[in-house]
Amino acid sequence: MTVSVHEGLFTIDPPALLGARCDGCGHHHFPRLAQCPYCGVEQVRPVTLSDRGTLWGWTEVTVAPPGYRGEVPFGFGVVELPEGLRVITRLAEPTAAYTFGLPMRLRIVELHTTEDGNPVVTWEFAP
Ligand SMILES: [Zn+2]
């Protein structure tokens, strides 16, 4: 059985990030919070965010962060979604070909496997 690396952040099929839209100021945010991080009101509505965006910034992680069990190196950066928010995200390789504004699409990838052999997945954006 496929396992999400972190519950509540994304869906696997179809691939989607779980965000929210504020009824007060209209801003979207991710990850989903009970209170708007921009204006503080508690009237936020759960939404599924767009699976497409544009590349805004990127780098390459060459040393595994603490607790990380996937492969290195991997891309890491910021993708701007049509909803107007920028998401910090894992990026597909190779990062050498990246340019500002490059169209990107969300996808689900296997990160590692559990001791029982079940795939553990996360999201990333790829060109
Ligand atoms: Zn707000």
Q: How far apart are the CA of 45 and the centre of ligand 1, in A?
A: 11
CA of 36 to the centre of ligand 1 (A): 5
Give me the pLDDT at residue 40, please.
97
Question: Rounded to the nearest whole angstrom, what is the distance from the C-alpha of residue 91 to the centroid of ligand 1?
Answer: 28
Task: State the residue range of the domain holding 25.
Answer: 3-126
pTM metric for this prediction: 0.91
* Structure confidence at residue 42 as a pLDDT band (50, 70, 90): very high
**Number of folded domains that form the chain:** 1
* Span 43-63, pLDDT tens digits: 999 999 999 999 999 999 999
The DSSP code sequence of 80-121 is E-TTS-EEEEEEPSPGGG--TT-EEEEEEEEEEE-TTS-EEE
3-state secondary structure of 94: coil
Assign 4 a pLDDT band (cuts: 50, 70, 90): confident
CB 54 within 8 A of CB 102: yes
* SS3 assignment, position 48: strand
The predicted-structure confidence for 54-107, as pLDDT tens digits, reads as follows: 999 999 999 998 988 888 999 999 999 999 999 999 999 778 889 999 999 999
Q: Where do we find the tokens 């492969």?
A: 71
- Whether 113 and 92 have beta carbons less than 8 Å apart is answered as no
Ligand 1 centroid to Cα of residue 1, in Å, is 37
